[in-house]
Amino acid sequence: MSAASRLPSPQEIARVLGGHIRRSGDIAFPGPGRKPADRSCTLRIEVGAPDGFVVADARQKLPALQLKDHVRARIGLEAFRPKHRNGNGSTVRGAPDHEVRDLSTKGSRNGGGVGSTASPKESGGRICLHHLNDIRLSTTRRDLVRGLIPRVGLTVVYGPPKSGKSFFAFDIAASVALGRECHGRRVEQGPAIYCYLEGQSAASARIEALRRRYMQAGHADAPFYLMPAAIDLVTEHQDLIEAIRSELGATRPRVIVIDTLNRSFQGSESSDQDMSSYIKALDAIRDALECAVIVVHHCGHEAATRPRGHSSLIGAADAVIGVKKDSAGQFIAKLEMMKDGSEGAVIAGRLETVDVGHDDDGYVITSCVVVPIEAPAQKVSNKSPKLCRSDATALKALRRAIDEKGEPPPASDHIPHNAKVIPRDVWREYAFKSGISGSDEDRAKRKAFSSAFERLIAGGRVGYEEPFAWIV
């Protein structure tokens, strides 16, 4: 039996704590010693948590263990207390006696179960080991938008300029805040933060279009928040976290959208070091607020089928969605990669113009909202597209370079262990010698190689992790 199943009902917990249940399902309540009207503490039922619940103090003054003991006492559970001392003499908190006995009777390979050594609760550290027999399936909701956006994780939405990618990401955030389906897919309703960093002057018009089109029927107080200021995410991500906490209190956002990567990034998008620092900032936001983070990004200059810049961004993403416009001016969004789910989902929409007001000269101000449409049928072809001359020359040069100078790959999560790799500059030298350009000018040869490099990676024929390339 899980710890969560032994808890009273959420309604009963809210009653004994003197709080109330929010629309998100979290229970807001006053902390010990605080006024009855205070709602700075929250409790959330979590099936996989040792106690069956997790707590948080928006003021960050009450230690989590103290707040948990307060809750356990109020709902009639035994308080956690020190059970033993570790090797250096410091006290380690453990579970009540009956919980320790429950753990110690579980079977294991050595006959003693988890209780025969130190249980995860008793390890006293952040890192602990869980035996196979003690791991149970978590039934917590996986997706923020069903089959499209992970509930907690990084999603990259990319596409060329004017493809509709920004409106698409804005529509996702609005759907979450309003609790309405997103292109026919269920969403988890909750606060949405939209960091609109590109073209801030249009932000108010886009919000007004959303208000007029979707917020007429009881959605006036939808938890949608706009952050229109420019930001360097690497150095200011903690400021963003604190601003969100200050506004929402103990309530966690469901989604944060960064639009765009370029406007929140200082450095070179192609640099592994700069992109690594940016990814760490995104991870810090995701971990601190336990929510979905969506980054809107541009595609490569030569190839519109991959995000621009260093490939480590794709490696860090939990989902990647490519957006493009079709011949009718409608946008098509395809789920190109999802680490813990099915790929290939395609959704489509059109932008509907909405009159949102008049300027000082009397001219109409307009913006757009997304209207879902039926996605086009996907064409299936077993034929690989024919390569142009420069691409074929570059690919042939890469094969020759690998045959002559290829080496095993370094330790990496992205390079296949059985692949042979070659540095990009070595590949480029072979391509130059193979006549990749009809011109003898160094500038022309470099441009031809750079274009072929982008297209071969985008087409899935070549893999690349700076500085190594390999045949896919």
Q: Which residues contact 408 (CB under 8 A, 6 or more apart)?
A: 420, 421
Per-residue pLDDT of the chain (472 residues; tens, 9 = 90+): 667 777 888 888 988 998 888 777 888 888 888 888 788 888 988 877 777 888 888 777 777 788 888 898 888 887 655 444 444 444 444 444 333 333 333 333 333 333 333 344 444 455 678 788 878 777 778 899 999 999 999 999 999 989 999 999 999 999 999 999 999 999 999 999 999 987 666 788 899 998 888 876 556 688 999 998 889 999 999 999 999 999 998 899 999 999 989 999 999 998 889 999 999 999 999 999 999 999 999 987 555 677 888 888 988 999 999 999 988 889 999 999 998 888 889 999 999 999 999 989 999 999 999 999 988 766 544 555 678 888 899 999 999 999 999 988 887 656 777 788 989 999 999 999 999 988 888 888 888 998 888 888 877 788 887 788 888 8
Q: Which residues contact 35 (CB under 8 A, 6 or more apart)?
A: none
Question: What is the Cα–Cα distance from 169 to 171, expressed in whole angstroms?
Answer: 5
Question: What is the Cα–Cα distance from 294 to 333, expressed in whole angstroms?
Answer: 14
- Determine if the peptide bond prior to 91 is cis (ω within 30°): no
Tokens of 321: 């969605």
Question: What is the Cα–Cα distance from 257 to 294, expressed in whole angstroms?
Answer: 5
Which part of the chain has CATH 3.40.50.300?
A: 143-373
Q: Is the pTM of this model over 0.85?
A: no
Instruction: For 143-373, give the CATH class.
Output: alpha beta
Interior/surface letters 219-254, b for 16+ CB within 10 angstroms, e for the rest: beebbbbbbbeebebbeebeebbeebbeebbbbbbb
Which part of the chain has CATH 1.10.10?
A: 389-471
Question: What is the Cα–Cα distance from 43 to 29, expressed in whole angstroms?
Answer: 8
State the CB neighbour count (10 A cutoff) for residue 34. 17
Interior/surface letters 273-301, b for 16+ CB within 10 angstroms, e for the rest: ebbebbbebbebbbebbebbbbbbbbbbe
- Report the residue count for the chain: 472
Q: Which of 335, 351, 282, 279 is nearest to 310 (CA)?
A: 279
Q: Which of 254, 266, 205 is nearest to 230 (CA)?
A: 266
Query: Edge-to-edge, what's the strand order for the sheet holding 41-45?
Result: 20-21, 27-29, 41-45, 53-57
| Fold classification of 389-471 (topology level) | Arc Repressor Mutant, subunit A (1.10.10)
Backbone angles phi, psi at 192, to 5 degrees: -125, 130
